[in-house]
Chain A
Amino acid sequence: MQQVRDIVVVGGGTAGWMAAAAFAKVFGTQAHSITLVESEEIGTVGVGEATIPPIMQYNAILGIDEDEFVRETNATFKLGIDFIDWRKPGSSYFHPFGLFGANIKGGVGFMNYWLRWVQSGGDPDFRRFIAEGEAARENRFARIPASPDGQLPRLNYAYQFDAATYAAYLRRYAERRGAVRREGKVVDVEQNSETGYIEAVKLADGTRVAGDFFIDCSGFRALLIEGVFKAGFDDWSHWLPNNRAAAVPCERVEDPSPFTRSTARESGWQWRIPLQHRTGNGYVFCDSYLSEDEASQLLLQRLDGKPMADPKILRFTAGKRRLGWVKNCLAVGLSSGFLEPLESTSIHLIQVAIMKLLEFFPMREVNPVLIDMYNREMDQLYDHVRDFIIAHYKVTDRDDTPYWRYCRNMTVPDSLAAKLELFRERGEARMLPGDLFSETSWFAVLYGQGLIPRSYHPIANALSEDELQLALARIGTAIRRRVDSLPSHADFIESCCSARSAATAA
């Protein structure tokens, strides 16, 4: 069998161009060819506008200069997500990037000491112990490294950007490196009669694009993975009932905040993603409880700036393709599954698929063992993210609408139920290797949603009270000092990566 040489990406948008750019960089186009087929007729969804820190690894692989990337995509920085009204109307909590506290000598996680402290009357505002949380609260940001004594790590962050601009940026990147773009709609697929492998896709204008390996970035339609290989779909709407999103950008009214806001609403939740040039908003909801018109109306009423377009409605079903990789076709992006952007995971799921594909990429024939591994690992990742998102709905005190009453009372996957029980017992969220969301994330969200642990690890009691108090005070002070040294988010952007300055320069 020949070596795999020709790679075809079916579909553009963030998924397609991230794949193309990554391949172009890693494999290069000397011995391989990368062809991306997209149609300008087909609109791209562009909902995934906030990200999580691992994206920096992707950018790093591509060698992208961060400041340039931020300028080009009108990006702002993101320190975490502010969840408003999720536990109950009037409540709020912050899910930060970064670590909770610092290591207190003793061998158990910081949250145990913090829980002990809160249980004996200490102040339950744990944002004080997370630099990202405090910085976000005060609208500050800068890139700072780990502290010289190793006590505090670097400030962890991600980006909020315009996904369409990001896709365009990556397209320029990929094309500069030799990726080829073909305009056109795929209307048919040719398979090998024996192996069933896809040999080519046929476009509407009759042209044929042949390849050795096909990446299905065709969105919800899943032309290849589902259309051809009938991989199947696990519907998760009983756990995640939201199936619509109304999205609309609005004018920027103030300095952009370095975090995303998610506000729980009567039948779903509303996002607010501040960019340099405008603010992105959306209402994710379930149409069994709210009509599309009503949702659009409510969204418009709740903007903090003038809308810059009409609300666009997106329809989706929460769930996952049963198999992400079949034969010589791998699904990336919405074709492989969909989880609402509550924790900004869409781009991450794309990135992981791409990274894994690069890792498992075949030289000649595709090895079924690798395909199995890939599918299992992606399953695990999807399940993990799914559980995390479900937790936001399940763990709540809200019962003010039928929607929330449903969420609060629904049964949840066993894996999540076990996690909740353990957390309720002792504030612990056992991590498996490779899990995306860390202990800090689970702690921030579950605690913030109102699940207060009954106890904590007993080793945390071995520290005498005065040592505990001192340790917490020292960490709090160190974090405070660190945050005090940060400029405002707006000033920081202005100083190094303002899109405006790029525009004037250009």
Chain B
Amino acid sequence: MSEPLDIVILGGGTAGWMAAAALVSLIPRTSCRVRLIESEEIGIVGVGEATFPEIRNFNDAIGIDEAEMMRATNAAFKLGIQFVDWGFKGSRYMHPFGVHGPVGMDHIFHHRWLRARRLGLKGDIQDYSFAAQAARDCRFELPETRSTQLDSAYTYAYHFDAGLYAVYLRGLAERRGVVRTEGKVKDVIQDPETGDIRSLLLESGEVISGDLFIDCSGFRSLLLGKTLGVGWEDWSKWLPCDRAFAVPSERDELSPYTRSTAMEAGWRWRIPLQHRTGNGYVFSTSFIDEDEAAASLMRSLETKALAEPRMLKFQAGRRVVNWANNCVAIGLAGGFLEPLESTSIYLIQVAIMHLVPLLPGRRVDPRLRDEFNRLIDLQYERIRDFLILHYKLNSREDAEIWRYCAAMDVPESLTRKIELFRHSAIIERYRDGLFPPTSWLSVFIGQGLIPEGYSPLADTMPGEALVTHMDAFRADILDRVEEMRRHERFIDLYCGAEPAVAPMGAEVRL
């Protein structure tokens, strides 16, 4: 029986504890031992408090009970992101976690909508997204699994306190055998020939050796970046924001969506949790200075601030590879994309869930490493392009950042996508990674890009019948949404941080 693989995770927070919890839950102790080193002195960023639906797969894989987790993290549900003032002043659209139109028709639906619109159909494309409607109306219920049902046309994610999530996962991980060491790294010992990391020397003098190192040390990227020297690919010319202020405020209306409001030099987030609201301003120092930004944020809060704004510095980009030698970077140590589409925790999760099946033995098989890197490359690039889209696709003249972004050169692949949509309303579909066509559709249309043409395949129905059909569908959605429980009520019943008075019974559909 060969010796188990020794895995050392440097850094806690969401990245570190997600990795630890996953490794210890999925792989038996006979195959790997997990150790995590963190220092309470080092602040945890904790910006990523909205998530993406994939997080549920992660929780399921680890065996986390949803309601329990939500209680422990003050979580609420998220059906999408509402974008305000993006593209043009006064815009307000929902990027939903669900398709537009009936299930199974998403290829053709928006073509039909475009045609119907020309024939006089009123309203937004949002009206045809069950998730968007439910979100707008602050409703929530768990979706159906049978794919033909209207109610299966959406999925959901969470808003939660990332700090509490990390704590929750830490509890789980330690219970399952992860060894936590408090400490800061003083030095990194490498193998003189291969450059592989052999051990970490802590300030306490303790030496911790390992076979595989997971760098969750945040922006510092102490292992991958600093020690192994993996270069940085800078994306700031496309994503100019380089700072964020974060400030909690009192609990507000518990809407089941994140709001992102475009500002004078960036954008503001609003994430409602059970116990408070998370707020932040992501901005670019090229277009505003820090003090102004802080002030702007405070001014815009909907409820009373509960603390002083805290600032974070960052740069959009990523490490050229996320796995070099025997070190895998997860989270900020591997790259950063602003939380415009709540992808931070997603990127952490995706790295972990790609790493687990490709977990190397004592000697790292470069084939496994190359495959990991290829998969992560795909993820980063595709998300990056989607984020850039939000910035690029704007016609705001009122602030320099927007003028800059409208004019900037963007990756060729993105230009092609925009032009093709503009011309033919066609959206490319990927096998792996984000984002599905429905997401692109919501941003394109929401930010004002109405295609000049649509597929002739949408012309096969008589026009009147089409409009009637669309109206009926929209009405169906509204009817169904009205039947749904209100989000706050659902939270109370399902996972209220204070236990609900009424026991959960048949009323709650699981």
Direct contact of A and B (CB under 8 A): no
Q: Which residues of A contact B (CB under 8 A)?
A: none
Q: Which residues of B contact A (CB under 8 A)?
A: none
